[in-house]
């Protein structure tokens, strides 16, 4: 399968760690990634709530570019993933909307027939590459590292995708196979607040605190995420949360691709660990056994 | 828009207008007509992680729509507090697309200008749209700067330590990333902007069953948009 890469705006700036580590993981597993040339912003939730038709049109521009290349789109950011999937779903259900979007695309000499499939890298890694193959490539064993896999909202909802919407287990299964200890983490699909952290901080801080608290109480040594928005809320706001709620959190937040890359034997540079504000301590990392 | 007293079973003029706008938005949502099937069970409100911060619960939104008081919904905090986590949509036993319905209401509130000035959610969305229109991609630093200037400078200084931390970790870019096809995307946006939200006529028969049929006049007004408050 030819994989087309749609990084999205966050992975270019704030979430470079995700970009670097995802590319490393796919390279180590022998998968080729072709970036969609000149992709644009998917529109995210913010655009959708202002101008609907325009939002669908700019989102469809990416899908049209991908359609020309042929292949499946990999969208690592949960928000991009959900918006691009939503665009596909809406255009399929509403012929009038599709016609209108195509009229707009035509002004830019593009056309979209609805043949682009959008997938999340977690889905591709587990269901296309497969856990068994990943295990063959594994150079390290997680050796009981206590992991809290956080899925967030827009990866598993609103429509049923590759995993359950209430109790997804893809990451749990993957990392327990690789030697990790998955902690009790019932908040794995609870909302982190998303943009509320900027718009209504009191609400955002409370939601994110509840997730960190659950990981803390269950002695997680790392929370792994699939979304740049969840990542920045959980990681960068820990200090503010500690101040606001008189807590004492200092939990490393990694992208799931960083942890997977570590198992596959990638170096710290190849995983973009320097971008993380809080990292897993060296002693804990050295506990992971070389060569299984 | 002055609030008029509703006669039982009769919508006021302002309500008719808002209803027309809302119903034509609903038609774009696949399965939007399921709003009729609400059984007022409260699963949405019970599941919502932010319902505690709302003045009207998601279930209340459905009830007010039925009772003919959309204006009350638009004036509430509810539509702005929604974090788009989609739990309500996932769990609703009647299959109502609650999150998408709240988006539709948000768009109407923006169109009619029903929200306090300096309102953070609106300004964030507005600035985000401007960034994307200008560069083709989001420019985080520019967004934070513009957003905070519009909602209060105090916040800007509160953000400074965090921005600094991200900067020293190489996560804050000082230069926006522009796409090459800016001209192309501007043409697409201009073309899409001209059109009102489309309505597939095959699905429009449910307009009558909820007690109101949009008149051409109302539809035209909706299409014209603008601040009518």
CATH number attached to the domain at A130-290: 3.40.50.11810
Instruction: Kindly list the distances between the CA atom of residue A190 and the CA atoms of A121, A165, A186, A214, B103, in Å, as whole numbers in the listed order.
Output: 21, 11, 8, 11, 20
Using an 8 Å CB-CB cutoff, list chain B residues near A196: 50, 81, 83
Tokens describing residue A34: 């072709």
Tens of pLDDT, residue by residue over A174-217, are 999 999 999 999 999 999 999 899 889 999 999 999 999 999 99
Query: With contacts defined as CB-CB under 8 Å, which chain B residues touch A13?
Result: 140, 171-173, 177
**pLDDT of A171 higher than 50:** yes
**Percentage, residues of chain B above pLDDT 70:** 79
pLDDT tens column, B183-216: 898 999 888 887 665 544 434 433 333 333 333 3
Which range, of A159-163, A224-228, B87-91, averages the lowest pLDDT?
A159-163
Closest CA relative to residue A34, chosen from A46, A26, A25, A44: A26
What percent of chain A has pLDDT above 70? Answer: 99
Enumerate residues 6+ apart whose C-beta is below 8 A from B202: none
| Cα–Cα distance measured from residue A260 to residue A142, given in angstroms and rounded to the nearest whole number | 10
Please give the average per-residue pLDDT across A140-148, as a whole number: 93
Average pLDDT over residues B26-30: 88
Interchain pair A43, B132: CB under 8 A: yes
Chain A CB contacts of B192 under 8 Å are 51, 53-54, 56-58, 100-101, 104
Which residues in chain B are closer than 8 Å to A151, comparing Cβ atoms?
A: none
Distance from CA of B7 to the nearest CA of A (A): 32
- When comparing pLDDT for B110 and B221, which is higher? B110
- CA dist A237 and A209 (Å) reads 9
Q: What DSSP character marks residue A124?
A: I
Query: How far apart, in Å, do the first and last CA atoms of chain B sit?
Result: 5
Higher-confidence position of A80 and B14: A80
Beta strands in A201-283 (DSSP E): 222-225, 253-255
Q: Which residues contact A56 (CB under 8 A, 6 or more apart)?
A: A43, A87, A90, A91, A97, A101, B192
Residue B204's pLDDT is 40
Contact criterion met (CB < 8 Å) for A51 and B129: yes
**Res B153: pLDDT:** 67
Backbone angles phi, psi at B14, to 5 degrees: -65, -40
Report CB contact under 8 Å: A40, B195: no
Residue B197: the pLDDT is: 55
- Percent of chain A at pLDDT > 90 equals 84
Q: How confident is the model at residue B24 (pLDDT cuts 50, 70, 90)?
A: confident
Domains and CATH numbers, chain B: 13-115+197-220 (1.10.1060), 120-187 (no CATH)
Q: Is the Cβ–Cβ distance between A231 and A225 less than 8 Å? A: yes
- Residue A101, chain B, CB below 8 Å: the answer is yes
Interface A-B: count of C-beta contacts within 8 A: 204
What is the rounded distance in angstroms from the CA atom of residue A143 to the CA atom of residue A284?
10
User: Peptide bond preceding B133: is omega within 30 degrees of 0, i.e. cis?
Assistant: no
Interface predicted TM-score of the whole assembly (ipTM), two decimals: 0.90
- Tell me which of 3.50.50.60, 1.20.1050.140, 3.30.70.260, 1.20.1090.10 is the CATH number of domain A3-119: 1.20.1050.140
Q: Alpha-carbon distance A193 to B84, whole Å?
A: 9
Could you tell me the pLDDT band of residue B7, with boundaries at 50, 70 and 90? low
> How much is the average pLDDT of B98-102?
94
- DSSP assignment of A167-216, as one string? S--HHHHHHHHTT-EEPP-TTTTS---TTHHHHSHHHHHHHHHHHHHHHH
**Which residues are A5's β-sheet partners?**
A35, A74
Q: Does the structure show a pLDDT above 80 at B152?
A: no
- At B32, list the tokens: 């939007």
Return the SS3 of A137.
Answer: helix
Where are the CATH 1.20.1050.140 domain residues in chain A?
A: 3-119
Looking at the complex, report in whole angstroms how far the Cα of residue A292 sits from the nearest Cα belonging to chain B.
Answer: 33
Average pLDDT over residues A134-160: 93
- Digit-coded pLDDT (tens) for A33-52: 999 999 999 988 888 877 88
Taking the Cβ of residue A20 and every Cβ of chain B, the question of whether any pair is shorter than 8 Å is answered with: no
């Amino acid at each position: 399968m030819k994989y087309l890469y749609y990084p999205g705006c966050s992975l270019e700036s704030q979430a470079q760690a995700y970009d670097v580590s995802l590319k490393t993981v796919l390279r180590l597993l022998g998968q080729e990634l072709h970036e969609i040339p000149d992709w644009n912003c998917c529109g995210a939730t913010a655009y959708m709530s202002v101008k609907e038709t325009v939002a669908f049109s700019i989102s469809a521009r990416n899908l049209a570019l991908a359609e020309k290349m042929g292949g499946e789109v990999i969208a690592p950011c949960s928000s991009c993933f959900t918006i691009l999937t939503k665009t596909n779903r809406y255009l399929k259900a509403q012929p009038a909307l599709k016609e209108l979007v195509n009229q707009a695309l035509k002004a830019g000499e593009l056309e979209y027939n609805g043949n682009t499939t959008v997938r999340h890298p977690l889905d591709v890694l587990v269901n296309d590459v497969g856990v068994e193959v990943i295990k063959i490539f594994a150079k390290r064993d997680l050796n009981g590292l206590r992991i809290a896999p956080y899925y967030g909202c827009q990866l598993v909802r609103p429509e049923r995708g590759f995993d359950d919407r209430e109790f997804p287990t893809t990451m749990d299964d993957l990392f327990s196979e690789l030697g990790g200890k998955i902690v009790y983490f019932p908040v794995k699909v609870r909302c982190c607040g998303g943009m509320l952290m900027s718009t209504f901080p009191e609400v955002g801080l409370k939601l994110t605190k509840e997730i960190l608290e659950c990981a803390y109480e269950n002695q997680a040594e790392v929370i792994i995420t699939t979304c740049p928005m969840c990542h920045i809320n959980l990681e960068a706001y820990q200090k503010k949360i500690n101040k606001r709620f008189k807590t004492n959190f200092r939990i490393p937040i990694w992208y799931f691709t960083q942890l997977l890359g570590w198992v596959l034997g990638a170096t710290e540079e190849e995983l973009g660990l320097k971008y993380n504000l809080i990292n897993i301590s060296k002693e804990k990392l050295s506990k992971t056994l070389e060569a299984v | 828009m002055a609030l008029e007293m509703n006669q039982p079973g009769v919508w006021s003029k302002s309500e008719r207008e808002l209803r027309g706008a809302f119903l034509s938005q609903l038609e774009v949502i696949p399965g939007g007509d399921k709003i009729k099937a609400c059984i007022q069970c409260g699963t949405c409100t019970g599941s919502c992680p932010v319902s505690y911060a709302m003045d009207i619960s998601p279930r209340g939104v459905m009830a007010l729509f039925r009772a003919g008081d959309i204006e009350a919904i638009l004036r509430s905090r509810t539509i702005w507090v929604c974090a788009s986590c989609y739990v309500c949509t996932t769990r609703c036993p009647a299959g109502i697309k609650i999150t998408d319905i709240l988006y539709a209401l948000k768009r109407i509130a923006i169109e009619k200008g029903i929200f306090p000035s300096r309102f953070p959610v609106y300004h964030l969305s507005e600035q985000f749209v401007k960034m994307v229109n200008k560069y083709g991609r989001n420019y985080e630093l520019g967004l934070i700067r513009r957003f905070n200037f519009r909602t209060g400078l105090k916040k800007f200084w509160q953000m400074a330590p965090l921005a600094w931390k991200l900067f020293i970790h190489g996560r804050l870019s000082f230069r926006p990333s522009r796409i090459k096809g800016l001209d192309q995307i501007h043409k697409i946006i201009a073309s899409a902007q001209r059109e009102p939200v489309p309505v597939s006529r095959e699905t429009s028969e449910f307009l009558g069953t909820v007690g109101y049929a949009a008149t051409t006049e109302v539809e035209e007004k909706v299409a014209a948009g603008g601040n009518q408050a």
